Amino acid sequence: MRKYFGTDGVRGHVGQAPMTVDFALRLASAAARVLAPSGGSVLIGKDTRLSGYMFESALEAGFVAAGVTVLLAGPLPTPGIAYLCRRLRTDFGVVISASHNAYHDNGIKFFDGAGDKLSDDLESAIEALIEEDPITQSSSKLGQAKRIDSARTDYQWFCRSTVADGVDFTGMQVVIDCSHGAAYKVAPRVFSELGADVIPIGCSPNGRNINLRCGSTHPELLQATVRGVGAQIGIALDGDGDRVVMVDENGALVDGDQLIHLLAMDALERGALQGPVVGTVMSNLGLQRSLESRGVTFLRAAVGDRNVLALLKEHGGQLGGETSGHIIDLSRTTTGDGLVTALSVLAVMQSTGRSLSDLTSAMPRFPQILINVRADGRPDLAAAPVRASVGAVEQRLGERGRVVLRASGTEPVVRVMVEGEDESEVRHAAEEIAAAVGAAPVLR
């Protein structure tokens, strides 16, 4: 167990440990010693949170003092930083973002020079140095800091390069919700450049409205807009642009499981699907059964894109992701990229002439109820009442469903998920387990 790094970097409430300026300075100094011990360069990007300026300055100071040159990309989606680490050949990259969380949270996550998330060993090595005082090199060994003015346009070019030559979205009306986040400039321009008639929403960040009643976690406005204007598709990104959910022409929500299924079926038909498809313990059972009925192996990883990626690499797969819309396609990029995923889906629609509702109808969806139980501490999920409740539900469901119980790595909640064939039965079972979790003793 690491003290600071969770499932996706360091994250927390701004002004409370660990999300303070002092910690960010120490983190930068520690990371420099581990990732660029002989100097080198780091690329820093961020989303649109007000606190991003503060943490950007603190990280810049820590890196420069440690002898590392800092390249500042400004607001840019997380996958854009992963790509630019490779393009600019930096030693590593940093993103200042709390993804889908509200603006009062923020986080710091790292990529290595190849655009991959750091290994557990590297994160542990950084943590081991955080408590030490930040270092300051002599003047002759200090790093420098400079802005990368071409960062946004370079990433736009990369996104366009992931679709085949000749792809043209002319005639398609697309509503894009950028969650007032990091993709607010990039996403509308990419689709416009490919010919789409773009209606942007959630593209007016003010530092405090990121993810506020918009984006992939709150798609209601997108659904209403798609229905209202009669668009062919709606696209909702999260605050840092690595997740995407969609809305079909009828205003129905299309989640990550359905998008994975759509892309897997397209790759399978083209003879381009390699290895197994990887989901998580939260992926809908309908996704697994549909893929397996077509001879495609489906594997489940623990929640978290880094776990999905590890399983893909271990088994030689290329496509995987999470229900939340964090989808990885290693044939196109190294990490989850909401914009690249959306482009891939529109390319399938364009090449087949089929609507999104038609393309997603092939995957059956099992009723799945998720309840987030607020947790001030760490509830004892092994307590007898919790185990008894879970056991009783599993016995009733048998092979007709599943139970998943886990503590979130990004929020102070325990997620209770029950899935089965009958929605009423599933809902009752989820509420039963949630009540037991809520009453469980807290571990000290």
Tokens of 250: 């009828």
Cα 267 to chain centroid distance, Å, stands at 22
Task: Report which of 224, 226, 256, 230 is spatially closest to residue 360, judged by C-alpha positions.
Answer: 256
Q: Which residue type is seen at 198?
A: V
pLDDT at 63 over 70: yes
- The yes-or-no verdict on residue 161 having pLDDT over 80 is yes
pLDDT, average across residues 307-324: 96
What is the rounded end-to-end Cα distance, in angstroms, of the chain? 15
Residues with Cβ within 8 Å of residue 22, at least 6 apart in sequence: none
Residue 35 confidence (pLDDT): 98
Calculate mean pLDDT across residues 320-335: 96
Render pLDDT for 274-296 as a digit per residue (tens, 0 to 9).
Answer: 999 999 999 999 999 999 999 99
pLDDT band at 212 (very low <50, low <70, confident <90, very high): very high
CATH architecture, range 156-362: 3-Layer(aba) Sandwich (3.40)
Rounded Cα–Cα distance for residues 148 and 157 (Å): 15
CATH assignment of 368-443, among 3.30.310.50, 3.20.20.140, 3.90.850.10, 3.40.50.720: 3.30.310.50
Average pLDDT of span 199-206:
98
Q: Return the percentage of the chain with pLDDT > 70, whole number.
A: 99
In the chain, % of residues over pLDDT 90:
90
Where along the chain do its domains lie? 10-149, 156-362, 368-443
Total residue length of the chain: 444
Q: What residues are annotated to the active site?
A: 99
Residues 6+ apart with CB under 8 A from 294: 265, 268
Using CB atoms within 10 A of its CB, is residue 17 exposed (0-12), middle (13-18) or buried (19+)? exposed
CA distance 297 to 286: 14
Measure Cα distances from 441 to 329, 414, 415, 418 in Å.
41, 13, 16, 22
**Across 134-148, average pLDDT:** 97
pLDDT tier at 444, thresholds 50, 70, 90: low
Reduce the secondary structure of 373-432 to three states and give it as a string: EECCCEECCCCHHHHHHHHHHHHHHHHHCEEEEEECCCCCEEEEEEECCCHHHHHHHHHH
- Quote the pLDDT of residue 298: 98
- SS3 state of residue 49: coil
DSSP 45: E
**Strand, coil or helix: 320:** strand
Whether the per-residue pLDDT at 377 is higher than 80: the answer is no
Does residue 4 carry a pLDDT above 80? yes
Taken in order 33, 34, 40, 45, the sign of the CA dihedral is negative
pLDDT grade, residue 227 (50/70/90)?
very high
DSSP class of 4: S
Strand partners, 233: 174
**CATH code for 10-149?**
3.40.120.10
What's the rounded mean pLDDT across residues 195-211?
98
What does the mean pLDDT of the chain come to? 95
* Buried-state track 265-292, b at ≥16 Cβ within 10 A, e below 16: bbbbeeeebebbbbbbebbbbbbbebbe
Task: Tell me the C-alpha distance between 40 and 172, whole Å.
Answer: 45
Q: Is residue 341's pLDDT more than 70? A: yes
| CA distance to 195, 347, 390, per residue, from 170 (Å) | 4, 12, 51
Place of tokens 């660990």: 18
Strand partners for 372: 415
386: Cα within 13 Å, side-chain hemisphere: 19
Domains 10-149 and 368-443 equal at CATH topology level: no
Query: For residue range 66-125, what is the model confidence (pLDDT) as tens digits?
Result: 999 999 999 999 999 999 999 999 999 999 999 999 999 999 999 999 999 999 999 999
